[in-house]
Every structure is written in C-alpha cells, then in structure tokens.
Amino acid sequence: MLGLPESSARRRRRGAGNRDRCTGEKAKDNQMPLVDLDRFDFLYANRVKGMKTAATRDLMATLSRPGIISLAGGFPDTRAFGEEAFRDLSSAIARDSAQALQYGPTGGLEGIKDVIAEVMRAEGTPADQDNVFITTGAQQALDLVAKVFLDEGDAILCEGPTYAGALNAFAAYRPRIAHVPMDRAGIIPSAARETLKRAKKQGLHVKFIYTVPNFQNPGGVTLAKERRRELLDLAREFDLVIVEDNPYGMLRFEGEPLPTLAALEIEEHGDVDRVVYLGTFSKIFAPGVRLGWVHAQPGILHKINVGKQGADLCSSNLSQIMITSYFQNGDWKGYVRRLNAIYKERRDAMLAALAEFMPKDVYWTHPEGGLFVWATLPSYLDATAMLPRAIAKNVAYVPGEGFYAGGEHKNNMRLNFSFVESEKIRRGIEVLADVIRERVEL
Ligand code: PMP
C-alpha cells in the first residue's frame, strides 16, 4: 500500500484532465472527453518531462484528410519509384529470403556497408566501409549519438532553427540546447565561438555541435565551404565532436556540390576523427525501408553499437537486402536525378507562387536543393495561432516554433515542396498568403 494514497491525491490535485490523444491539449468544455493522458504522471521518468511530440507528427492525421494541400510533412515523393520497379525488386529479394527474414549483426550486413561507402564516395566523401554502422533511419542515429554522448545538463550547439526530430531525440537525455543563429550561408561560426566561450565560462560541458549542412531542415540554407572548415577548427579548439546530419546532400538541383565536413576532416586530418556523419536512404531511395547509417571513428561506433543492442538488436535485414540489391543492380543515380528534376520543378513553383502572392514584409529562403523553404512573417505574427485557420482553408504548414528548443520564433513557417504537385503548391501558397494577409497590420 506504500505510496498509493499519496499518488492518487497528487493526481486529484492536478485535476487529471481529458486531453486530445495526439496533441495532449486539454479538451474544451464542449468537446467529447477523449483520454486521460495524465493518469500515470506519478510514475513517469523525469526525462519524459522534457519530451514533446513533434508538430509534424501531430499534424499527420490532418494531412491525410481529403482535399488538404499539405506543405507540412517532409515526405519525399515515393510515387516516383513506381509499382513495377518495386515488384522487380521484391522478387530479387525473394531469392535471399532466409537471410532477409533473419536477425542480423547489430552494425548491419556487409553488403550494404559497401553500398554506403559507394554512395558517400559519389558525394565526394572518401568513406571506408569499416567505419560504417547501420541504423534504423538517421533518426535512430540521432538518438544513439545522444545516448552515447549526453549526460543530463551537458550542452550541445544546434543551428537556430534546427531539425525538430533531432530536438526530440536529444530531449530524452536532458541536455541544455544552445541555438546558434544562421544566415543565408548557414550557421555563423563567430556566433558559435561566442556561444562556446560563454558555455565554458558557465562551466557547461559542451559535447557536440549538431549541423544539417545541406539544404537544412527546416531553413533550406546550405553551409558555406569556408564555414565548414571554421566549424571543424572550432571543434578542434574546444575539443568536441561534430554531428553532421546529411540526408539531403544528394538532392541538389542548383549550384555546385560542397564537400561534406567528413570529407574535409579526412582531407585535413588524414582520417575520420571528430566528425560523426549521419546518412540515410530515406531521401535517395525511400523512408519506408527505415535505414540510415553512421560513419565515424571506431571508438564512437563501438559505443553506438552497445547503445543499439539495447534499442532494437539490429535493423531490418529485409530492408538491407532490398537496398543492397537495388543499389548494386538498379540505376539509383538515375532515380536520384529523376527525383531532383521533380523537386526542382516544384521548388520553382513554390518560389514563383511566394513571389506572386505573399504580402510585402514576408521573406523566404531560396534552397538550392532538398525539400524545404523557410518563410519569415512580420515579427508580430504567430504562425502557430494561424495554423487552424489555414487548415480550415485546406492548407497545412509547420509553424516555426517547433524548430527551437525554447519554442521561440513564432513568426516562421516551414514549407515543403517535395510531396505536392506544382499546381497544388501554387494554390496552397495563394491560400496561405490570404490567411497571412487577413492578419497583416496595414
Ligand atoms: N535528419 C534530418 C535533418 C531529417 O530531416 C530527417 C527526416 N526528415 C532525419 C534526420 C531522419 O530521417 P530518417 O530517420 O528517415 O533517416
């Protein structure tokens, strides 16, 4: 009986309210009671307090509503792969069925590591398959990196804004997150240096800098080459690791490719050292296979291996064999070129529509690749508050605040152009511009 009366009292005092299943928001008086999400509050670990669901995940249900133009998700256009190509691939895997249906090594099958080294080399990084470790999407890699490096109260530097899914993954380990401002050329190294100096003065232990250098999610901007070198210099000076998350590097449809931080480090240092590179098949093949990877030095990979054993033993053999077969025998580079042609057309449609319809004092980035445009509204506007109105008019986007640990920058929105056809993008931006115009002070 110990503790039970006390905990029920706590629950009563908190007034365990009825909340929406997804958002956790209190149900309004006139709404049907849904579900009591507070019921076991007295049992949850402290780490859960810092964890929140990503706005994009919460929006999923809304996005599948018929008629909605979703500029919200980060979905690649998997329709482009085609049913027939998928059928051929499936029969190729069937030849390896016993292994495909089996458990595999925690770090992944050898065949796929060769494929990954080839993919990384195609992007200009002289990768070594011995330094490759398979994960269940880059998302798991983010979680494992945080698991391996972060104690409660440690600090990390992230771009401001940064990928909301990374904030989610990191939050479970309860770090202090410092956002470093960006401009059109990505994270500003002098600001990163100031933040690192300040953190040191405060006695904080900064463990890593997290960056999405190419066509950043959500900002759409790309880190300039000199800044990549400066970031590496900073990591050496302050003795920390750089987590380079690069899902979009190959989705470039304009301008010259830039070397990855991993490539620069190998060039300067002779080998991989403090750059932990994260890759994924989600954007160059399909997110449904849930496969990504870490390329890092062996000591870090060993710790990540131990972390993954406790998480899911190994990633899907089925997916690994599927990818190996496709990347060894199929025209994956041709497929990426095809995706890029589709995304370029849609990006152009989005930029043109923004220029045509948006009221003045709304600004946006010009991504040279990837999936996202980042729009900035006048500072008095709140994109979160505006979302229900946009959804009522059948357009969805992701409000900017979810891309900051502290929820600031409410006057931003992330707009996705990879999933919806160009005409719908145009229509969606037109409607969105109307919603914004309703609130703009004249
Ligand atoms: N990092 C970034 C920057 C992303 O945008 C995403 C997915 N949107 C991920 C990691 C996770 O990708 P996945 O788990 O599908 O590999």
The alpha carbon of 278 and the centre of ligand 1 are apart by a number of angstroms equal to: 9
Å from CA of 139 to ligand 1 middle:
6
Closest CA to 238 of 299, 175, 194, 303: 194
Residue 285: is its pLDDT beyond 50?
Answer: yes
User: Does residue 433 surpass a pLDDT of 90?
Assistant: yes
Mean pLDDT of all residues belonging to the chain: 91
Ligand 1 binding pocket mutation candidate from 244, 282, 289 (most atoms within 8 A of CB): 282
- Residues 84-113: tens digit of each pLDDT: 888 988 988 898 999 999 999 999 999 999
pLDDT digits (tens, 9 = 90+) for 334-345: 999 999 999 999
Weakest-pLDDT range from 11-25, 269-283, 401-415, 416-430 = 11-25
Band the pLDDT of 18: cuts 50, 70, 90: low
280 CB near ligand 1 (under 6 Å): yes
Query: What digits encode the pLDDT tens for the residues 176-211?
Result: 999 999 999 999 999 999 999 999 999 999 999 999
**Contact yes or no for 322/85 (Cβ under 8 A):** no
Cα of 286 from ligand 1 centre, angstroms: 11
> Which mutation among 143, 217, 283 tests ligand 1's pocket best, with the greatest number of atoms within 8 A of CB?
217
- For the Cβ of 317 lying below 6 angstroms from any atom of ligand 1, the answer is no
* Ligand 1 atom closest to residue 138's alpha carbon, by position in its atom list: 16
> Helices marked H in 123-173 — which ranges?
137-149, 164-171
pLDDT of residue 14 exceeding 50: no
Q: In what helix (H) or strand (E) does residue 63 lie, and over which residues does it extend?
A: helix 55-63
- pLDDT score at 260: 98
Scanning 296-421, the segments in alpha helix (DSSP H) are 298-312, 317-329, 332-357, 383-392
pLDDT at residue number 3? 33
CB of residue 212 inside a 6 A radius of ligand 1: yes
Q: Is the pLDDT of residue 58 over 60?
A: yes
DSSP state at residue 139: H
Quick one: average pLDDT of 419-426? 96
Given a cut of 70, whether residue 438 has pLDDT beyond it is yes
Torsion, Cα of 80, 83, 88, 90 (10° steps) = 100
- Whether 287 lines ligand 1, by a CB cut-off of 6 Å, is yes
For residue 16, pLDDT beyond 50 = no
Number of C-beta neighbours around residue 69 at 10 A: 24
Distance (Å) from CA 393 to ligand 1 centroid: 29
**Ligand 1 pocket mutation pick from 134, 245, 291 by most atoms within 8 angstroms of CB:** 245
> What's the pLDDT tens digit per position in 403-422?
999 988 899 999 999 999 99
Cα(95) to centroid of ligand 1, in Å? Answer: 31
* Distance from C-alpha of 192 to C-alpha of 197, rounded to nearest angstrom: 9
Cα separation, 280 vs 135, whole angstroms: 9
Distance of CA 4 from the midpoint of ligand 1 (Å): 42
Q: Is 107 in the pocket of ligand 1 (CB under 6 A)?
A: no
- How far is the C-alpha of 432 from the C-alpha of 40, rounded, in Å? 40
| Gap between the Cα atoms of 347 and 331, Å rounded | 24
Residues 307/274, Cβ–Cβ less than 8 Å: no
In short, whether 215's Cβ falls inside 6 Å of ligand 1 is: no
pTM comes to: 0.91
